A and B are shown apart, each in its own frame.
Chain A
Amino acid sequence: MEYSLGIFRWLHILAGITWIGLLYYFNLVQMPAMKDAAADGTAAGISKHVAPRALLWFRWAAVATWLMGAALLGPNFASAFGLQAGYTGIGIGAWLGTIMLFNVWVLIWPNQQKILGLVSATDEEKAKSRRVAFLASRTNMMLSLPMLFFMANGLTHKALIGL
């Protein structure tokens, strides 16, 4: 049993690094780069070759992170999501991670498909999708700060932060 928990924790962190690392890449590198690339006419390279690959790893790493986290919680899954005593900190982290997963699959990915031309959309729809995907991505970046605080401290180190 201890071995499986160790494997789940390892995979949860590996997938989480991939997911959140790509989230920070989008917000800190690709978004500002796209503005500059659009100005000198080189944005198509990013849209065609970089963004689809980054989004593929991004959205599936989000699923893997959530599933490995759920497996790690195991029988304590309901206690965490119910914010029961002893699981409040990790529960807050789990809820934030779940909201972020929802944002990835319901707001970011469907709108990015329109922006990148993977599904057909009018220019007006693309403009709206750009704003929705941008704000959902920025919301996830904002949520990642408390999510990581509660994930890192909420279970094994909860006493250190008084939870």
Chain B
Amino acid sequence: MKNPLDSVLGTIISGLILTFVLYSFVKHFVLAGV
């Protein structure tokens, strides 16, 4: 499997996915008291 960081588009998509994952983590686990 190709590393997504090898392309600019793959890097941006990875960053957007990570943003969503971290936001969901904070919203549903950290703020909800786990």
Contact = CB atoms under 8 A, between A and B. Distances in A.
Of the four ranges (under 10, 10 to 19, 20 to 34, 35 or more), the interface on chain A belongs to 20 to 34
Dominant SS at the B interface?
A: helix
A141 B15 contact: yes
Contacts, number: 48
Interface residues of B, number: 17
Interface string A71-111: 00000000000010100110010000000000000000000
B22 to A, nearest CB: 5
A127 B3 CA distance: 18
Interface in B12-32: 12, 14-16, 18-19, 22-23, 26-27, 30-31
Interface stretch (A13-21, A36-44, A116-124, A142-150): A142-150
A138 B11 contact: yes
Nearest to A31: B8
Nearest to A84: B30
Contact of A142 (B5, B26, B27): B5
A139 B5 contact: yes
B11 A146 contact: no
Dominant SS at the A interface?
A: helix
B8 A142 contact: no
Nearest to B19: A146
A163 interface: yes
B17 to A, nearest CB: 9
A50 interface: no
Contact of A88 (B5, B15, B30): B30
Given A138-B11, A142-B14, 11 more contacts: A27-B8, A28-B8, A89-B26, A92-B26, A139-B5, A143-B15, A145-B19, A146-B18, A146-B22, A163-B26, A163-B31
Interface of B: 3, 5-6, 8, 11-12, 14-16, 18-19, 22-23, 26-27, 30-31
